[in-house]
Amino acid sequence: MVYAVADLCPWDPGEIDELSIDQWEVQSPWWRRGARGRDWAAVARVAVAAVNSGLDGADIDAWVRYGQRARLRRDDLYSYESLAHDPICVSPSQWTNGRHRSLLMQRAGASHIVVVDPDWRPDHG
């Protein structure tokens, strides 16, 4: 689902400092592989457009084709694909997954991001 950045649950005091992008460069191998150089605004924009077109990320191949048609390439496409296979999970009061990526998209100027519907429950039957 598409979620407004303004509606994301609040950060705990000091939590933004914990997620300082400058610290990631030193601490995270994922960051060293190029997270800093990715176009996070484009990743957010294409993901929102994909969801608005009717995709939900369940069909990874369709999700990736959409990103390719939107001209995402290499690391940007990988980051976009991650929103389907490792989705951002947040409720109005709690983060479960994806704080780092959501912060990168927010800092890149995205007003909306794609998250798992907080009311969704997996069908195990």
Does a structural domain hold residue 74?
Answer: yes
Does a structural domain hold residue 124?
Answer: no
Residue 40 lies in domain = 2-114
- N- to C-terminal Cα distance for the chain? 23
The pLDDT value recorded for residue 16 is: 60
The total number of structural domains that make up the chain = 1
Per-residue pLDDT of 68-79, as tens digits, reads 999 999 889 999
Does a structural domain hold residue 122?
Answer: no
Does a structural domain hold residue 49?
Answer: yes
Does a structural domain hold residue 85?
Answer: yes
Judge whether residue 42 has pLDDT over 60. Answer: yes
The pLDDT value recorded for residue 57 is: 79
Does a structural domain hold residue 120?
Answer: no
Does a structural domain hold residue 123?
Answer: no
- The answer to whether the beta carbons of residues 37 and 106 sit under 8 Å apart is no
> Which residue is listed with tokens 């609040």?
10
Does a structural domain hold residue 28?
Answer: yes
